[in-house]
Amino acid sequence: MKKGVLTVAKNGSPLNFRQYWQSKKDRTVLYSAVSTPFSGLLALTKLVIGFAVMSMWLLGFGCFYLVMVAAKGWLFYRYSKLRINEREVTDDPDFALSEYFSAGLFFIGLGAIFAVFCLSMYFNGYHQHFSANVTYIIALIGFVKIINSSISLVRSRKHHNHLITILKLFNVVDGAVAIVLTQYAILTLERSANANSSSGLFGFGIGIVIVILGVWFLVRSRQRGAANGRQGLDDEHR
């Protein structure tokens, strides 16, 4: 009987944690899982402070990262559920179908939240200003995020594991959002009159791209479902 994730195997014997640690795929997922609770705590903190001071800036980013944490948490749960049963993710076609559909919904949600946030920035403007040192730190974090996540996404293809690819895509989305924040911080530091309008328009474009990515995942899940259905009919006729 399973008593908890990563504690008891399907046959009732204790899990061999070392066995999963030796798997490069499992290590990749574990590394991502470790940072997720901290991201969730940070997102909740932004929401609480945002409500307290009525800051749309904090509320927007808080909602965005809370959805991202929920998406990653769902993927970790599904992944661990299969691995506890000592099965590879690629062994279950229904798993791929479910996760493509779930990923599509989460990407659409993330893109819509960020697009609305940036539209508000474009039309109403935000009065969030950063000092020079904070701006440099934001820029450094933004570029490190987008470069590191892009490289990790390319490298993840060798795993031939759609779940790891989806996780890396979430990191790329995070990096893209960080670049928008970097642009805004730099423009406000330079006291540009177009800081809100240009950053809002750029961010809105990023949000639409994320939504399109989500729609692609939904279409992909539908195609996989149809293919699995045809394969099932062929197996019955044999």
pLDDT in tens, 131-147: 899 889 989 988 998 99
How big is the CA angle at 68 (ends 65 and 71), to the nearest 5 degrees? 155
pLDDT at 229: 52
Q: Which of 69-78, 159-168, 215-224 has the lowest mean pLDDT?
A: 159-168
Distance, CA of 90 to CA of 80 (rounded, Å): 13
pLDDT attached to residue 20: 52
Structure tokens at 70: 């929920």
Q: In sequence order, which residues have a C-beta less than 8 Å from that of residue 192 and are 6 or more positions away? A: 198
The sign of the torsion formed by the CA atoms of 123, 128, 133, 137 equals: negative
Q: Whole-angstrom Cα distance, residue 23 to residue 88?
A: 11
